[in-house]
Every structure is written in structure tokens, then in C-alpha cells.
């Protein structure tokens, strides 16, 4: 199979919620030397995005969306396991989570793995995380960066609340903040006063390094 054929089959596997094919394409792609994040970005993510588009226009319904999300999770697990894990943890400490009211965590999990693979110490708060917890945890572990993910236009407000709560507690200068998630934009980051917007996981690493003067 060519690289393109693998990407295409990976995409199809997610759209059709075909777990066996996801498994096969993830392993085959890695065995053939495709870089884990390339396989993710060119194969599996376009697949789940297509599912989102079909769901958005009513051509696919919640049960199918859930099934595709499950096989996407499987792909994410295989890809994440293929990322280098034991890097020196000298790049900085980041607390990351999906904001309250939001249970989307596939992208956040990819971001966490890539941060770890790039030498960051990561505290993964999970999903549906109360805003106060981002700050409490950052204080507790002595984080440099607070990272938040939001996938719903409604829950993006949680990212704004993080900025507000930090200011209220007089802690805004102490942490750098990075926001991400499909509906999130640079414009949103500017509007709420976040330090950076990250388009994808690799951009998150770039921005984090820049913010910490290591870029």
C-alpha cells in the first residue's frame, strides 16, 4: 500500500467506525515508517473531521458519531504509544484539560502525548474540568503554562473564565496560557487575553517553547 492509500483507508475506517481497519491501518502505517503524527494528521483526523461534518449536516447521527469517536480513541491510543515517551522533562511544566461542560478529549489527549514526547512535564486534568481546578492545580504543581481545550462554542467561555479567574486572583502574570480546540481561533485568544492559540498539537509545542523562551 502507498502512504496515500494508508491515509485514505485510515480515514475511511474512522468514518465507517471500523475498529479492525483502524487497528490494521495504524499498525501498518507505523510499520511502514510513517511518522506517528503524520499518520494522525493525514489519516485519522481527516476521518473524524468528516464524521463531524456529516453529523453537522444531519447525514449521520449521534450513535454513529459515538462509534466513530470510539474507534478514533483506539487510533489515538496506538499513535500515542508510538510517540517517544521518555524524554528529559526539562522544557517546563504544563497543566492541561478540557474545560467544564465539555467531554471532548481526543485532541487534548494527543496534545498531552506530544507535550510529553517533547520534554514537557504534563499534568493531565482530563475533561469536563472545573475552571478553578486549572488554577488550583497549576499553583499546586508549580506549572509554567495552563493549557485548555474547548470543542463547543458554548464551552469556549470556560477559557475566558480561566483568564478572568487568574486576573481576579492576581495570578495572571505568573502563568502563560494556551488555548486550543476546533472552534478556537487566534482572534478568540486575543479577545480573552490568552498568551497563545494553538492550531494543533505541534503548534502547541511551538507556542509553548516560544512562551518559555525556548523556541
In the complex with ligand B1M, the residue whose CB is nearer, 6 or 184, is 184
Interacting residues of 187 by C-beta distance below 8 A, sequence separation 6+: none
Max Cα separation, the chain?
Answer: 56
| Shortest separation between residue 45's beta carbon and ligand B1M, angstroms | 5
Counting contacts by CB under 6 A, is residue 104 touching ligand B1M?
A: yes
Nearer to ligand B1M, 1 or 59 (CB): 59
Q: What are phi and psi for residue 85, nearest 5 degrees?
A: -105, -35
Please state the closest distance from residue 48 (CB atom) to ligand B1M, in A.
5
Q: Which is nearer to ligand B1M, 69 or 82 (CB)?
A: 69
Q: Which residues of 45-82 are buried (b: 16+ CB within 10 A; e: fewer)?
A: bbbbebbbebeeeeebeeebbebbbebbebbbebbbeb
Q: Which of residues 29-88 bind ligand B1M (CB under 6 A)?
A: 45, 48-49, 51-52, 55-56, 62, 65-66, 69
Is residue 149 part of the contact set for ligand B1M (CB under 6 A)? yes
Residue from 152, 157, 174, 209 that binds ligand B1M (CB under 6 A)? 152
Which residues, in sequence order, are bridge partners of residue 179?
148, 197
* Pick 1 or 190: Cβ nearer ligand B1M: 190
Is 201 an interacting residue with respect to ligand B1M (CB under 6 A)? yes
Backbone angles phi, psi at 151, to 5 degrees: -110, -10
Interface pick for ligand B1M out of 14, 17, 75, 111 (rule CB under 6 A): 111
Closest CB 5 distance from ligand B1M, rounded Å = 22
92: left (phi over 0), alpha (psi -120 to 50) or beta: left
Distance CA(29)–CA(11), nearest Å, equals: 12
What backbone torsions phi and psi does residue 25 show, to the nearest 5 degrees?
-70, -35
Q: Give me the residues that bind ligand B1M (CB under 6 A), please.
A: 45, 48-49, 51-52, 55-56, 62, 65-66, 69, 96, 101-108, 110-111, 147-149, 151-153, 178, 180-183, 198, 200-201, 204
Amino acid at each position: 500500500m502507498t502512504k496515500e492509500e494508508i491515509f485514505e483507508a485510515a480515514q475511511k475506517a474512522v468514518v465507517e467506525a471500523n475498529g479492525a481497519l483502524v487497528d490494521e491501518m495504524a499498525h501498518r502505517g507505523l510499520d511502514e515508517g510513517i511518522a506517528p503524527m503524520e499518520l494522525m494528521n493525514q489519516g485519522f483526523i481527516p476521518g473524524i473531521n468528516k464524521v463531524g461534518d456529516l453529523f453537522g449536516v444531519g447525514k449521520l447521527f449521534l450513535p454513529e458519531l459515538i462509534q466513530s469517536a470510539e474507534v478514533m480513541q483506539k487510533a489515538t491510543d496506538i499513535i500515542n504509544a508510538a510517540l517517544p515517551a521518555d524524554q528529559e522533562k526539562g522544557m517546563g511544566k504544563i497543566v492541561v484539560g478540557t474545560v467544564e461542560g465539555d467531554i471532548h478529549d481526543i485532541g487534548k489527549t494527543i496534545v498531552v502525548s506530544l507535550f510529553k514526547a517533547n520534554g514537557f512535564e504534563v499534568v493531565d486534568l482530563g475533561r469536563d474540568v472545573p475552571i478553578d481546578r486549572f488554577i488550583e492545580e497549576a499553583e499546586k504543581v508549580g506549572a509554567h503554562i495552563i493549557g485548555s481545550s474547548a470543542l463547543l462554542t458554548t464551552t469556549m467561555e470556560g477559557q475566558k473564565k480561566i483568564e478572568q479567574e487568574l486576573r481576579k486572583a492576581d495570578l495572571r502574570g505568573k502563568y502563560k496560557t494556551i488555548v486550543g480546540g476546533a472552534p478556537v481561533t487566534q482572534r478568540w485568544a486575543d479577545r480573552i487575553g490568552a498568551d497563545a492559540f494553538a492550531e494543533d498539537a505541534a503548534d502547541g509545542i511551538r507556542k509553548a517553547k516560544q512562551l518559555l523562551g525556548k523556541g
